[in-house]
Amino acid sequence: MKIGSVFEDQIFEKRISITPDIAKKYINLGFEVQISENYGDHLGFVSSDFTDQGVSVVSDTKTLIDSSDILIQMGLLDDDKLKFLKSDQIYIGVLNPHNNKEKLESYINKKINFFSLDLLPRITRAQSMDILSSQANLAGYKAVIESFSIFEKAIPMMMTAAGTIPAAKVLVVGAGVAGLQAIATAKRMGAIVYATDVRMASKEQVESLGGKFLTVEGSENLETEGGYAKEASEDFKKKQEELLEETLKNIDIVVCTALIPGKKAPLIIKENMIKGMKNGSVIYDLAATQGGNSAFTEIDKIILKNGVKILGEKNILNKLPSSSSNLYAKNVFNFVSNLYDKDNKKIKINLEDEIIGKTIIK
């Protein structure tokens, strides 16, 4: 069986889905692996890094896609490439099925098996495949680095003969995987860190990292069975707004990470809150591509409002493509290994397997 991966559009996506080390693992399982020309050049992987492991380099995109039993990508390719897919092929990636429903349905009718790894169930057996966690971890780290880079003051407290510079105060909105990594990173760099989340289970995790958890009075636990946040009630939102508005007056940097799977990101930092923030403060919105947690967020722009810098990027992981590619490639390999029947050396789509049943798009 052949596993293939096509060169991504570098304007939008610099990560790759197969690294040389992971290619070797596929080959050891019994797969043939093929990739596009110049596949990993931008990450420092030359063709020989792949071919030395036994990987084939295919110059023609149509031939590569057409001859692959399994195609592994970061997301959905454009229609010019998708049209080369054929019946019974397997396509694995982060396909965002809520936003790409119509496009996916048109290809599912051609009997193509799409697996979207953003639908993985949150169970112990799926942890090694959990691309949301591995990529969000890096995103949370990088969001802090990016926001600190445009904040024009020192982050840790510094005591000098000329006086003391106070530590920066950071608020992390949303204490999921990205948020917890943002808390840990900001804390390591010497900031005083606060965090808020609708899931009460997050309180212990935040405090274990040295953060201070902001609790809405009389709050309920808004957590789904799968461990994700669910939409808050209007009463909760009002109390949260009052707490945030007061807190933000003393905050230097806000990192927004709150997302609800399959829905527009909740607007948490409102215009009136930004008006009360200190001049020179920074808001980094990791939820920018899903509408943003902050008012005024625009993708790939720094917006200045009342002296506050607000920014969000289409794909922050394009700034960490090597690290994120390594983790993504390992996640996908573990997913493929679960699909692969090693005894019969073939793919087995067992819908009774929760991992397979939840990720296949029907």
CATH classification at residue 291? 3.40.50.720
Give a yes or no: residue 130 inside a domain. Answer: no
**Unique residue bearing structure tokens 């003393």:** 250
Examine residue 294 and state whether it is found in any structural domain, yes or no.
Answer: yes
Q: Is residue 281 part of a domain?
A: yes
Question: Which of 20-24, 96-100, 106-110, 261-265 has the largest mean confidence?
Answer: 20-24
Measured over the CA atoms of residue 196, residue 197, residue 203 and residue 207, the dihedral's sign is negative
pLDDT band at 223 (very low <50, low <70, confident <90, very high): low
Residue 126 lies in a domain: no
In this structure, the answer to whether residues 337 and 252 fall within a common structural domain is no
254 and 327 in one domain?
Answer: no
Is there a domain that residue 124 lies in? Answer: no
When comparing pLDDT for 219 and 302, which is higher?
302
Q: Give the amino acid at 269.
A: I
Would you say how long the chain is, in residues?
362
What local confidence, expressed as pLDDT, does residue 224 receive?
Answer: 59
Q: Could you tell me the CA-to-CA distances from 72 to 101, 144, 193, 324, 336 in Å, in that order?
A: 19, 30, 39, 15, 10
Tell whether 336 is covered by a domain: yes
Per-residue pLDDT of 105-149, as tens digits, reads 888 888 999 999 999 998 999 999 999 999 999 999 999 999 999
The answer to whether residues 40 and 144 belong to one domain is no
If asked whether residues 166 and 77 sit together in one domain, one would say: no
Question: Could you tell me if 172 and 287 lie in one domain?
Answer: yes
**Structural domains counted in the chain:** 2
- Left (φ > 0), alpha (ψ -120 to 50) or beta: where does 278 sit? beta
Lowest mean pLDDT among 137-141, 180-184, 341-345: 341-345
Query: How distant, in Å, are the alpha carbons of 144, 145, 180 from that of 187?
Result: 10, 12, 11
Catalytic residues: 122, 127, 130, 133, 228
Contact (CB, 8 A) for 4 and 35: yes
Asked if 32 contacts 51 with a C-beta cutoff of 8 angstroms, the reply is no
SS3 assignment for the chain: CEEEECCCCCCCCCCCCCCHHHHHHHHHHCCEEEEECCCCHHHCCCHHHHHCCCCEEECCHHHHHHHCCEEECCCCCCHHHHCCCCCCCEEEECCCCCCCHHHHHHHHCCCCEEEEHHHCCCCHHHHHHCHHHHHHHHHHHHHHHHHHHHCCCCCCCEEECCEEECCCEEEEECCCHHHHHHHHHHHHCCCEEEEECCCCCHHHHHHHCCCEECCCCCCCCCECCCCCECCCCHHHHHHHHHHHHHHHCCCCEEEECCCCCCCCCCCCECHHHHHCCCCCCEEEECCHHHCCCECCCCECEEEEECCEEEEECCCHHHHCHHHHHHHHHHHHHHHHHHHEECCCCEECCCCCCHHHHHHECC
Q: Does 352 lie in the same domain as 286? A: no
Domain match, 74 and 157 both:
no
Token pair of 327, please?
């983790």
Structure tokens at 264: 């527009």
| Across 326-354, average pLDDT | 94
Same-domain check for residues 81 and 191? no
Write the pLDDT tens digit of every residue in 232-260: 677 877 888 999 999 999 999 999 999 88
Same domain, 203 and 285: yes
Confidence at residue 102, expressed as pLDDT on a 0 to 100 scale = 87
Residues 180 and 266 placed together within one structural domain of the fold? yes
CA distances (Å), 94 to each of 61, 114, 170, 226, 332, in order? 20, 10, 31, 18, 10
Taking the model in full, what pTM does it have?
Answer: 0.90
Q: Are residues 60 and 183 in the same domain?
A: no
Region 316-336 average pLDDT: 98
Residue 141, in any domain of the structure: yes
Write down the pLDDT at residue 229.
56
Q: What is the pLDDT of residues 13-58, one digit of tens each?
A: 999 999 999 999 999 999 999 999 999 999 999 999 999 999 999 9
Q: Which domain holds residue 260?
A: 136-318
Same domain, 211 and 101: no
Q: Is the pLDDT of residue 219 over 70?
A: no
User: Is 80 contained in some domain?
Assistant: yes
